[in-house]
Amino acid sequence: MEKFEHKYGAEQIQVLEGLEAVRKRPGMYIGSTSVRGLHHCVYEIVDNGVDEALAGYCTEINVIIEPNNVISVEDNGRGIPVEIHPKTKISTAETVYTVLHAGGKFGGDSGYKVSGGLHGVGASVVNALSSWTEVTIRRDGHLYQMKFEKGKTVQKLEEIGEATGTGTKVRFLADDTIFESLDYEYEVLEKRFREIAFLTKGLKITIEDQREEPFKKAEFCFEGGLVSFVEYLNKNKEKLHKSPIYVEKDGEVPVEIAIQYTTSYSENIYTFVNNINTIEGGTHLEGFKRSLTKVFNDYARSHNILKDKDQNLQGEDIREGITAVVSVKVKEPQFEGQTKTKLGNSEVAGIVQSMVNESLATFLEENPTVAKAILEKCISAARAREAARKARELVRKKNSLETSTLPGKLADCSSKNPEECEVYIVEGDSAGGSAKQGRDRKFQAILPLWGKMLNVEKARADKIYGNDKLNPVILAVGAGIGSDFDVTKIRYGKVIIMADADVDGAHIRTLLLTFFFRYMRPLIENGNVYLAQPPLYKLSKKGMEDRYCYTDEDLEKAYKELEEKGIARDQLGLQRYKGLGEMNPEQLWETTMNPETRILIKVTMEDAIKADEIFTLLMGDEVEPRRDFIQANAKYVKNLDI
């Protein structure tokens, strides 16, 4: 058997120190040690396979969550090079797995134009954070293998047999002394792999979850790439034109864009840099938006659709109802912003802009029916914007005449420091009453809502200003809406939706979330929106402190724990809460409002695509997919009255 040379020199000692540093401060390398960081590890390994696909050598990546949470990722690329690396004097494969950042550095003429990967830290970090890692390589007819424990080599790369074909297989068990849990979320991984498959035309990615029978599995391969992505995003929406518009340009910064307009009022533009979702946007998005505005205005003017020479469609008019995916590949991306998901490279704006200027203008000239359909919608959006402006002025005037601009029903808190203040938006007057009495009035404000809420999915901005249900929310939050929304002006750091744990509660929660999602998106992006979680049950017994349970599992756990203390089930009184109104102020404070004991769920934008999908499905025009969804989820949602 061939065995690769091993010499521990200064380089190798540095290597071990490098990986020790990763284990000491894992968060610095993978963001966090929560389940999110755990998923990042899988993405890092998969991204190496994707890089090989982008270089044109790999067509398939298979991911398995094995029983006991071992992750297996296999690609059919060239296989990681096995020869001794001149600098480290050990095999290149071992170098990649033991030297921090080695993947990029040593892969100099690998044929990779750009590299994916969330933090670009690669295989060595995953290796350092795993109890064990096993890498098997098929190359030149040989089968090679190496093994590591906590980043340290325990079996150097050696030939263990013969092989047909080429490829790399990596299996690892994340270290449970580093990660909070090893419970991979199949749905999260599945969603990311679907996204990667959309972004990498023709690459087949499979995932199988073998932890529980029946095994869950999925296979993604999209010959249409971004076009398929946009079709997927729009699958429940009514389209303005049949096929997505697709433009691309190869070059120093390859750009690919797919666009399709729908009859909806929302704007959904997803941007990616090297396959990473740039949630905060950046220069590529700026370039795209600028060009879109220019091209449509130029077309409208030159075809006499805009008659008045001075009349201009604004960017927001042109983006109403748009679904677009913008994907760029940048050699040395600079990521900025709070979550490092905003592209900073200034040159990219111009590149995207001139590429879209050219190709979109040509497309519109060649497809006048599509151009007309889109522009008709843009013009009606411009009219609605004007109507909204008038409505807003009216509301502003009316409010400035009143002594206070705060809604009458709002019981405000005494502190004026947004960082410590919270507003509870409470369904129903009786729950509102309990909340008002039970709260800590120093920092907790209560805004009761009642009656039927406006479905913003089916209304334009002009209907929202002055709406008697939404206006109090807008005034209380205090930061405007839509393009006027200014997150620095919010009056409360936490906007908490407190609704019953029943179908009506779910209804009002969805309506409010749709509203925030569409009209105050930065509030969600900034992490200011929360859901209160009231208890579902109360267990009581004379002489015992009441015990509140928030889920059915919680209740079972409580029964078991109490049984161990010698308290049988039939000795306990069980109250099932149907609504917040059934709790007195003290109970509401203790279970749902006291920062020491309450459970708050932060609403995140991470799942914007999913949220948009569900909002559209549940709130939009298309009846059929909604019926399918409700039927599929009937066991969870008994009476969804939307």
User: Which residues are catalytic, by number?
Assistant: 427, 500, 502, 504
Distance of CA 159 to the CA centre of its chain: 42
- Is residue 247 within 8 Å of residue 356, measured between CB atoms? yes
Distance of CA 207 to the CA centre of its chain: 19
The conformation of residue 91, written as its DSSP 8-state character, comes to B
The rounded distance, in Å, linking the Cα atoms of 178 and 25 is: 10
Angle at 18 between CA 12 and CA 24, to 5 degrees: 140
How far CA 465 is from CA of 392, 424, 456, 470, 472, in Å, comes to 6, 21, 11, 8, 10
Shortest distance, position 132 Cβ to ligand 0R9, whole Å: 16
Q: Is residue 81 within the footprint of ligand 0R9 (CB under 6 A)?
A: yes
Selected binder of ligand 0R9 within 22, 30, 96, 313 (CB under 6 A): 96
Q: Which is nearer to ligand 0R9, 106 or 265 (CB)?
A: 106
Distance of CA 47 to the CA centre of its chain: 18
Q: Which is nearer to ligand 0R9, 84 or 305 (CB)?
A: 84
Q: In a 3-state reduction of DSSP, which class is residue 118?
A: coil
Shortest distance, position 329 Cβ to ligand 0R9, whole Å: 17
Q: Is residue 170 within the footprint of ligand 0R9 (CB under 6 A)?
A: yes
Q: Is residue 466 within the footprint of ligand 0R9 (CB under 6 A)?
A: no
Shortest distance, position 91 Cβ to ligand 0R9, whole Å: 9
Tokens of 641: 């009255």
Q: Which is nearer to ligand 0R9, 92 or 268 (CB)?
A: 92
- Residues between 127 and 166 with contacts to ligand 0R9, criterion CB under 6 A: none
Tokens of 263: 């009859």
How far CA 129 is from CA of 148, 162, 286, 541, in Å, comes to 11, 30, 38, 47
Q: Which is nearer to ligand 0R9, 55 or 572 (CB)?
A: 55
Tokens of 522: 């930065």
Q: Which is nearer to ligand 0R9, 29 or 515 (CB)?
A: 29
Q: Is residue 117 within the footprint of ligand 0R9 (CB under 6 A)?
A: no
Selected binder of ligand 0R9 within 76, 124, 153, 168 (CB under 6 A): 168
Shortest distance, position 185 Cβ to ligand 0R9, whole Å: 21
The rounded distance, in Å, linking the Cα atoms of 94 and 619 is: 53
Selected binder of ligand 0R9 within 110, 145, 399, 415 (CB under 6 A): 110
The residue sitting closest to ligand 0R9, measured at its beta carbon, is: 110
Selected binder of ligand 0R9 within 37, 41, 76, 78 (CB under 6 A): 78
Shortest distance, position 332 Cβ to ligand 0R9, whole Å: 18
Q: Rounded to a whole number, what is the largest CA-CA distance in the chain?
A: 89
Q: Is residue 92 within the footprint of ligand 0R9 (CB under 6 A)?
A: yes
Closest-CA residue to 256 (of 201, 312, 301, 296): 201
Give residue for tokens 């200011």.
528
Shortest distance, position 44 Cβ to ligand 0R9, whole Å: 9
Q: Is residue 107 within the footprint of ligand 0R9 (CB under 6 A)?
A: yes
Q: Which is nearer to ligand 0R9, 142 or 469 (CB)?
A: 142
Taking 3-state DSSP, the helix, strand and coil percentages for the chain, each rounded to the nearest 5, stand at 40, 20, 35
The answer for residues whose C-beta is within 8 angstroms of residue 566's C-beta and 6 or more apart is none
Which of the stretches 46-54, 125-133, 305-313, 524-532 binds ligand 0R9 when contact is defined by CB under 6 A? 46-54
Selected binder of ligand 0R9 within 12, 37, 42, 75 (CB under 6 A): 75
- Is residue 458 within 8 Å of residue 496, measured between CB atoms? no
Size of the site for ligand 0R9 (CB under 6 A): 21
Shortest distance, position 211 Cβ to ligand 0R9, whole Å: 20
**Where does this chain bind ligand 0R9 (CB under 6 A)?**
45, 48-49, 52, 73-75, 77-81, 92, 96, 103, 106-107, 110, 123, 168, 170
